[in-house]
């Protein structure tokens, strides 16, 4: 049985301790957004190699975004969780503060080859 990229990311992020709420982007809440949360999304899935008219390798690029009202100094260790799940670290960038919620954002990209 093949594991989807969404299952892989969910499994990786569920190992964070202490637990941080996370969801497929966009993070939706029936109440107010938590002070700290994570949203993830698939940026692109790409075929990497073909042989004998069949795809033999695939890569997925995912973005894991940490949102925190307290700033970006004390954030969940997403890197360790994702690397332990077989992902490779890629680009990282700060996002503008969300003016409506007050959250600061840090987008981290990870690649996995299958």
**pLDDT, position 1:** 53
The DSSP line for 9-66 is: HHHHHTT-SS---EEESSP--SSSPPSEEEEEEEEEEEEEEEETTEEEEEEEEEEEEE
pTM score: 0.89
**pLDDT, position 93:** 98
In this structure, what CATH number is given to the domain that contains residue 16?
Answer: 3.30.2000.10
Domain tally, the chain: 1
Enclosing domain of residue 75: 5-113
pLDDT in tens, 41-86: 999 987 776 777 777 688 899 999 999 999 999 999 999 999 999 9
């Amino acid at each position: 049985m093949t594991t989807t990229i969404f299952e892989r990311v969910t499994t990786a992020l569920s190992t964070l301790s202490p637990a941080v709420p996370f969801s497929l982007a966009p993070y939706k809440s029936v109440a107010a957004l938590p002070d700290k949360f994570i949203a993830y999304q698939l940026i692109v899935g790409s075929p990497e190699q073909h042989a004998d008219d069949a795809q033999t390798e695939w890569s997925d690029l995912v973005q894991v975004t940490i949102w925190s009202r307290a700033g970006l100094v004390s954030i969940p260790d997403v890197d360790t969780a994702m690397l332990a799940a077989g992902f490779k670290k890629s680009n990282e960038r700060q996002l503008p503060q969300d003016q409506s919620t007050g959250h600061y954002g840090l987008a981290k990209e990870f690649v996995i080859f299958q």
